Amino acid sequence: MSNEKQDKQFVTEITPQSEDFSRWYIDVIKKADLMDYSPVRGCIVFRPDGYEIWEHIQRDLDRRFKETGHRNAYFPLFIPESFFEKEKEHVEGFNPELPWVTEAGGDPLEERLAIRPTSETMFGHMYSKWIQSYRDLPVLINQWANVVRWEKRTLPFLRTSEFLWQEGHTAHETAEDAMEETMRMLDVYTEFVEEFLAIPVIKGQKSPSEKFAGAKATYSIEAMMKDGRAVQAGTSHYMGTNFAEAFDIQFLSRDNTQEYAHTTSWGVSTRLIGSLIMVHGDDRGLALPPKVAPKQVMIIPIGPPKTRDMVVGRADELFAELKKAGVRVGIDDRADVRPGWKFNEYEMRGIPVRLEVGPRDIENGVCVLVSRITGEKKQVPLDNIVEEVQTMLDQVQQEMYNRALSFREENMHVVDTLDEMKAIMEEKRGFFIAGWDGTDETERLVKEETGATIRNIPFKLDVQKETCLVTGQPAKHTVVFARAY
């Protein structure tokens, strides 16, 4: 095999997105060592790089939660069956996905225990004990946990039987306070996903058929993948007094009367990792925004064997300088691997910036920085390396957001009728903006005909449709339809 072919081997082993997007996705996450399949159906093992992405997501979100007054706690994995029976709509929504524990220690249990699909019921039970007076409100608690939903069709990170997430559950004195919390957390998610993950999202309210089981209203942020499908990147739910009534969360009001608390819940999960990959990745592999990448910079010493010690020594100094400045940096000084092969490998792994340094560079007091996203090569002075690297990392982060936003805008289609939508879907991918008469029948018909669902009713759109795409009747809402993961 020639050196050129050897250097390109990493790329040729990845299925092109245009050929088979799902296969591309699996190739990339396996080749980049983000995960592996476990022996349990529908469950994956997070390898260190994959889990470190989640740690960075977790760390930044946790900071944002605490800045808005929330605290972390932990609640049990096992939930008594009777808890689900208290809120009928909730149990009906989750029943098909619930795994049950029926015996322990060889003995049958008196009551079946569900393995946590979500924790509204457990939080509700505990809040009924903790909340007695309006002085106890608001209660603002978040939990970082794993949950289990026995999915029939799975896709690593995006839909697995067990996944990691956070779930916030809050209780409030009034409906206004609870709605303010619901919107605040939706805004927190929006800012995080756009600023930290460089993914533009559409913020809006879910249709009644798509809302969370047991909620009064569900709000979401929706992101477009490179195949034009949607991922629900975060949700925030206003529960009203549904769970408070089911679990008797009452408090003595300021008027000295017993009232039910108004509750909320909100969450994001490890499907954000899948979204990251599908929004930013390309035919060379992963492309990770600097803020979330396990390694932001990879240093690659180059040059002939006779200068190796000198070049590696200088590369080690650059490594130490960048690390001290808080840059997540690595160095690949393997002598038995060609630089071209390394370049391809770290591009495939999505590392935002590559730093190349050779003997001539050192003589001239410079090195070369290469952007993963644009391919731009920039010669920069070694004595200003920290500032130059941080500048390029900022540029890569912004460029990734800009590219994702441009892609979304190019693949947004405004349609008047269902036939028009179907015709466009045969040739193009993306989201479809259309009028909806507000009926379940229309929503169901569109799904049956196209496989697309109402992703949400956006809060802000440049266009408003006057008529329903199916019935021609006056539109109650302008909505976004899309096929979704």
Q: Per-residue b/e over 276-300, b at no fewer than 16 CB within 10 Å?
A: bbbbbbbebbbbbbbbbbbbbbbbb
CA gap 158, 142 in Å, rounded = 22
CA gap 433, 477 in Å, rounded = 10
CA 262 to chain centroid, in Å, comes to: 28
Q: What is the pLDDT along the chain (485 residues), one digit of tens a residue?
A: 445 454 444 455 899 999 999 999 999 999 999 999 999 999 999 999 999 999 999 999 999 999 999 999 999 999 999 998 887 676 676 777 889 999 999 999 999 999 999 999 999 999 999 999 999 999 999 999 999 998 888 999 999 999 999 999 999 999 999 999 999 999 999 999 999 999 999 999 999 999 998 899 999 999 999 999 999 999 999 999 999 999 999 999 999 999 999 999 999 999 999 999 999 999 999 999 999 999 999 999 999 999 999 999 999 999 999 999 999 999 999 999 999 999 999 999 999 999 999 999 999 999 999 999 999 999 999 999 999 999 999 999 999 999 999 999 999 999 999 999 999 999 999 999 999 999 999 999 999 999 999 999 999 999 999 999 999 999 999 999 999 99
Query: 152 φ, ψ to 5°?
Result: -80, -40
pLDDT tens column, 374-388: 999 999 999 999 999
pLDDT of amino acid 11: 52
Identity of the amino acid at 194: E
Q: Report the DSSP beta bridge partners of residue 423.
A: none
SS (H, E, C) 65-82: HHHCCCEECCCCCEEEHH
Q: Which of 263, 217, 265, 218 is nearest to 244 (CA)?
A: 263
Q: Which of 142, 98, 128, 92 is nearest to 116 (CA)?
A: 98
pTM given for the model: 0.94
Q: Which two tokens stand for residue 132?
A: 């007695």
